[in-house]
Structure 1
Amino acid sequence: MQDDSIFKKIITKKIPAHIVYQDEKVTAFKDIKPKAPVHILIIPNVFIASLNDINKKNKSILSHMFYVATDIAKRKKISQEGYRIIINCNKNGGQEINYLHMHLLGGKKLGSFF
């Protein structure tokens, strides 16, 4: 894991964050610049730079991230009305932090990207 990563510092609680879920595989916390009433980031606890770095050894982390996202959506009471899950990949895909992360957004009608 990158020692200087802001996400590693959140995982290890070296900087404060509003953590809504954490287990041995992932950490989920509120985004500091939310784009919706519910905006949670879900990150693996081991460093993976982007979706391009998913391989046979670490591929199960994606299913766990999706499982955690749907569980949080239910607990935040946005699962019935709907929500969006976004994973950006690299610069042109909108990834701003070089660390795989998933956005869970909901709590309002979300506009179309297309």
Structure 2
Amino acid sequence: MTDSLRDLALELQSFAQERDWQQFHSPKNLASALVVEAGELLEHFQWLTEIQSREVSAEKREAIGNEIADVLLYLVQLSTSLGIDPIAAAQTKLKANAIKYPVEKSRGNSKKYDEL
């Protein structure tokens, strides 16, 4: 885990401990909260066209940033609770995806790996 991510995880632990919230932070509950927050993030893009989703107002961008923060915070808490380094997990996944989606087959193509 990078230092900044580790620092964030420690801040989250302290925040939860000060409020005696660890009792509620089971992996199941954190994963559920993460999905809820991801849904709230998606709400900002519901009904927008592709172009509109790329050109959101500054006000909407701030609201989206708040939802991204919520998603990140729950993801970090979930990772910590399970002892998973999210950076290492993402790097491993990226390597696996490079094998599934070789450049020569997937460049400019949105098909799933088993359809390439």
After TM superposition, the score normalised by the length of structure 1 is 0.34
Q: Name the structure, 1 or 2, with higher relative contact order (CA <8 Å, separation 6+).
A: 2
Per residue, is there more helix in 1 or in 2? 2
The normalised TM-score by structure 2 is 0.34
